[in-house]
Structure 1
Amino acid sequence: MHKPRALAAITLLTLATIAAAQSVEAVTPDLARANFARPVTLAPDDVRAFPAPPAGFADPRPGVAAGRIEEFGYTSGVTGTQRKASVYLPPGYSSERRYPVLYLLHGIGGNQDEWRGYVRAQAVLDKLIAEGKALPMIVVMPNGRALPDDRSPPPERVFTADNAAGFAKFERDLLEFLVPAVEAKYPTLADARHRALAGLSMGGGQALNFGLAHLDVFASVGGFSSAPNTRPAAELLPDPAAVKRQLALLYLSCGNKDGLINVSQAVHRALKDAGIPHLWNVDEYGHDRDSWAENLFHFSQRLFR
């Protein structure tokens, strides 16, 4: 795993670079830093929708029933390889009952271990499920970089078109290979109302792009600190009436110290203008794990209700 500070630095610079890479300008670390460090302008509704979680909400607690995380492998027709995902099975998991499924996507510098290691998703979910605040669910944490070599790249290779392209290619990998493989192995509730897709940073952009385009597969979608890979609102919402009919939950969040907040703000404004119900939570963080852990805490409690 990356050390938190190193991972954050790689992620921040890379996200800004993806935005710059859409133009004809040369991509450089200095340009990326400038792009990410742009001023944050807040509107009156860019505020917390929920209070902060209690202290220690993302720390393991003795006496709390624990779920388990296992490695899951599947064959991808996109990469032509055997790919891996981390799968969280909730406390008391039994093959005799069926569960809803949340797919959680990582940032551009991470992999299938980012949510469980860096963000500590298991501790968050174990406590909420034990307290009856979240429903028992299976959580699939895949590698969202759909490349034959899907390892997290070293810093000198993060700023490449090939690395970024792997995240776009994951759409087909997710829909045609990962979801069917998960549903073949685990006792899932295999319908859109019982599937959710969410992610942080680059994965937040993926979740919005893929989820809103496939509400027949995922009726609940969450974008946490979504990156500039997020499609423009007009592409995300070509048919607002259809979105309203199919959507169960749409959750957006970002920190008010995050230079990329304009990405989420634009989606929020478009949803508001179109009258599409959604949750918009702006916390006091930058582009970091504290924001992502808190928003998993809030998002997971509202899933599959």
Structure 2
Amino acid sequence: MNYIYEMPAEMLKETDKKGRVELFEYESQTYDESSEKLHKKAYVYLPYGYDENKKYNVLYLLHGGGCNHTYWFKDFPETVTILDNMMEKKICDPCIIVTPTFYHNEEDQHTHDESRCENFMHEIRKDLLPAIESKYACYAEGNVSEENLIKTRKHRAFAGLSLGSMTTYRAAFYNNFDLFAWYGPFSGCCGPFGDHNKEVERICTTLKEGKEKGYELGFMFCGNGDKDIAFEEHKDIMEKAVEKTDLLVPGKNYDFYIIPGGVHDIKAWQLHLYHALQVFFK
């Protein structure tokens, strides 16, 4: 792929062929000590010309710490314009993009509890995927049994930024590898307090055990700027993982895209998304 380091101006111009963003509400549980029933919200991007009789790949896309489901599409509406242009210009195939939140509610959003990252694995599997994929035109075709969700994993991707990048590793990759084939961790893996060697071990084990069960990695697209606060830890972990396993092959099913001068901000994350969508579902 030819990488670019600044979003082309044409991607930010409004197009006539606009997708639509709608609010989606569903019930979930916290799956922790309280295990209370929650009323959750996500936004769903449906591409221009969305047709209920077709089948679309789905990307689940997360925000970072202290934000929520509004981040990608409402707080930064140019993300929607970029997606509209990418699909109109056939830079990527039309797909459905879902922006949920790993927080329980607005009050929870102000906690600094990283256990949310891993705990979200239960909601993904038991509540979020079944709710979304029984409503929208996905490859699951309305059959949201665990068996069928596993069977259709090649049509599902998971990505996120910052704390959402950590959640991509912990909730989607390590714990739901049978449900997703494509991953986009943008800006970080374990945070400043994590254990690099432990993460490397988890990455290698996930790939090895997945392959033994017949689950291949479609692509892991890591993105970071070289001035991003999360750059050094992310790069170090992934370099060690590539050395340790032959199941991550740069250029084939893995890449680490680095923006020169890129920092921890939406401009970088939109560029990561722009590139990730060109390798997902291929």
Give deviations 1:224-253, integer Å, cap 9, x for gaps.
002535761112321543456510011101
Higher relative contact order (CA 8 A, sep 6+): 1
Structure 1 range deviating more: 66-75 or 227-236: 227-236
In the alignment, does 2:184 pair up with 1:222?
A: yes
- After superposition, the CA RMSD in angstroms is 2.2
Tell me which of 119, 129, 137 is aligned to 2:95: 137
TM-score by length of 2: 0.81
Show the counterpart of 2:156: 195
Shift of residue 216, structure 1, vs aligned partner: 1.3
User: In 2, distance between residues paired with 1:239 and 1:103?
Assistant: 20
- The runs of 5 or more residues in structure 2 that have no matched partner are 31-35, 141-151
Alpha-carbon separation, structure 1, partners of 2:20 and 2:26: 19
Check whether the contact 1:53–1:297 (CA below 8 A) recurs between aligned residues: no
The equivalent residue for 2:48 is 91
Where does residue 28 of structure 2 map in the other structure?
Answer: 76
1:205 is matched with which residue: 161, 166, 176?
166
| Alpha-carbon offset, residue 103 of structure 1 | 0.1
Shift >6 Å, 4+ stretches: none
Give the Cα–Cα distance (whole angstroms) in 1 for the partners of residues 20 and 230 of structure 2.
Answer: 34
TM-score if structure 1 supplies the norm length?
Answer: 0.75
Task: Supply the distance in 2 between the matched residues of 1:201 and 1:195 (Cα, whole angstroms).
Answer: 21
Q: Secondary structure at the match of 2:53?
A: coil
Runs (5+) with no aligned partner, structure 1: 1-47
Partner of 1:171: 121
> What is the CA distance between 1:166 and its match in structure 2?
3.0
Which residue of 2 is the match for residue 51 of structure 1?
A: 4
Answer whether contact 2:44 2:99 (CA < 8 A) is retained.
Answer: yes
When residues 242 and 64 of structure 1 are mapped into structure 2, their CA distance, relative to the original with a 3 A threshold, is farther
Number of equivalences: 249
% of aligned pairs identical? Answer: 26
Shift of 1:53: 4.6
Letter in 2 for 1:137: C
User: By how many angstroms is 1:301 displaced?
Assistant: 1.5
Between stretches 115-124 and 279-288, larger displacement belongs to 115-124
Which of 252, 262, 283 does residue 222 from structure 2 map onto? 252
Q: Distance in 2 between matches of 1:266 and 1:201?
A: 16
1:232 aligned partner, one-letter code:
E
- Kept in 2, the 8 Å contact 1:49–1:281? The answer is no
Q: Contact 2:119/2:171 (CA < 8 Å) preserved in 1?
A: no
